[in-house]
A and B are shown apart, each in its own frame.
Chain A
Amino acid sequence: MKTLLSYLGNLKEYLIFSALILISIILIFQNDNVQIRFLRVVAVNVIGVMQSGFSFIPNIFELERENKSLRESNLELSRELSRLKESKLENLRLNGMLEFKQRTNYRVATGKVIGKTLIQTRNNITIDIGEFDSVKIGMPVITDKGLVGKVVATSKNYSIAQILLNRDLKVSAKDQRSRVDGIISWDGEGKVLMKNVSKSADVKVGDVIITSEYSNVFPPGLPIGYATTDGTKDNLFKHIEIECFVDFETLEEVFVLKFLTDLERKELEKRFSEKAK
């Protein structure tokens, strides 16, 4: 302690000198003129160089603060990234739908899927458009990828549609390449099948299946899916497994086609079938 005091005593004049210099510098920096602004820039640069020289010394408290701040910004960025990804995917979907809307010949109403069931034998989706949007029972529901199903119930603002994964929905379809006809239906266990296809019919794996002109509900030419087998035989007919173009798991936006059954045709077919009985 004595040595330290003696050492400090020897340094006394330099300590006083440093204090006076420091006071002078502080006074100088209280001024606001061009010289001082320049000196401030120099001082900031000098301090910056010195700080960068000592930056290898870790400051635990600073590191803790920095760590906390980084965690917070990381969380914020993750949220932002998630929002951006969501927006990007929505943008892609909406772009595809917009393109479809522009090229289709039918009038359409765009709706958001606000409810869906996919694990039952009779699966439906709920859409956020209804009678106020001129949606009527029987109208086809599609996306830009292909057929989804048809509207089976409506309220003023909502509609319910049967989807292809519903045992009650049957769709007249045909092979786009070979024009072979069949009926699309769901087996209730996970497979969409094209039935009533004769054994000898020309259906190959990869053939695109579309709605046919025989349908009373759907306009012809709507894509449904593609054949994944060339048919399991069942007596006179074969069943062809279809992979739908529409992914029902990720379905979010749909179009309701403002297309209704031709009543005259329906009436005629009804009368004829009654007569035949």
Chain B
Amino acid sequence: MIDYLKYAGILLGLVIIQKTLIGFIDVTEYRITPDIVIIGLVYVGIKRGKIIGGISGFLSGIVLDIFSFSFIGLMALAKTVSGFVSGYFHNELKMERYLNTYRFIVIVSFCSLVNNFLYYYIYFQGTSLEMSDMVLRYVVPTTVYTALFSVFPVLFARKRRFSR
């Protein structure tokens, strides 16, 4: 139970940071920001599996949707899928390897790609934006930016491991 509260606290903290501070570090003319919530989500997914990953994704997505004041349900959908996908990497034997090595960055990149593609694909429906433009302007940059940010938890985990 304490574990779940810990995950909820981490994700809520990440959501708050995402909605308050991350906006200041946007790049490109399309205001691309990293998605730090997905980093936490992948962490939870790897730790707890598909169900907890999916539920965490849904709840964090809903909170993000509520904060965004616009498209309720869209981020919940994208985060549910990406959280569930991250649960596929839940493996008791390989968990440490996934979380503390650069494989974590690869998993985050993959889950972020799924998340971003789903999100932007639906978000830009009914507009004239081409799929290729959408991928190049939004999906790939956001994924790369998020992947860059996922380096920090890996470094943090490695540092902690060495200090032990």
Q: Are B125 and A38 in contact (CB under 8 A)?
A: yes
B80 contact set on A, CB distance < 8 A: 17, 20-21, 24
Q: Are B54 and A24 in contact (CB under 8 A)?
A: no
CA distance A42 to B126 in the complex (A): 10
A3 interface hit (Cβ, 8 Å): no
Within 8 A of B (CB), among A38-78: 38-39, 42
Within 8 A of A (CB), among B15-72: 49-51, 54-55, 57-58, 61-62, 65, 70-72
Can you list 27 A-B pairs, Cβ within 8 angstroms, ordered by A?
Answer: A13-B50, A13-B54, A13-B84, A17-B50, A17-B51, A17-B54, A17-B84, A20-B54, A20-B57, A20-B80, A23-B76, A24-B58, A24-B73, A24-B80, A25-B73, A26-B73, A27-B72, A28-B73, A28-B74, A28-B122, A29-B73, A30-B73, A31-B71, A31-B72, A33-B70, A35-B122, A35-B124
Which 9 pairs across A and B sit closest by C-beta, in order of nearness?
A: A27-B73, A38-B126, A24-B77, A28-B73, A34-B126, A24-B76, A20-B58, A35-B125, A38-B125
Q: A17-B84, A23-B76, A26-B73 are in contact. List 17 more A-B contacts (CB 8 A).
A: A13-B49, A13-B51, A16-B54, A17-B50, A17-B54, A20-B55, A25-B77, A27-B62, A31-B70, A31-B71, A31-B73, A33-B71, A35-B123, A35-B125, A37-B126, A38-B125, A39-B125
A179 interface hit (Cβ, 8 Å): no
Q: Are B76 and A27 in contact (CB under 8 A)?
A: yes
B81 interface hit (Cβ, 8 Å): yes
Q: How far is the CB of B55 from chain A (nearest CB, A)?
A: 7
Taken residue by residue from 1 to 15, chain A's Cβ proximity to chain B (1 for < 8 Å, 0 otherwise) reads as 000000000001100
A residues sitting closer than 8 Å to B (CB atoms) are 12-13, 16-17, 20-21, 23-31, 33-35, 37-39, 42
Q: How far is the CB of A86 from chain B (nearest CB, A)?
A: 53
Closest to B78 in A: A24
B127 interface hit (Cβ, 8 Å): yes
Taken residue by residue from 103 to 134, chain B's Cβ proximity to chain A (1 for < 8 Å, 0 otherwise) reads as 00000000000000000001111110000000
Q: Are B58 and A23 in contact (CB under 8 A)?
A: yes
B127 contact set on A, CB distance < 8 A: 34-35
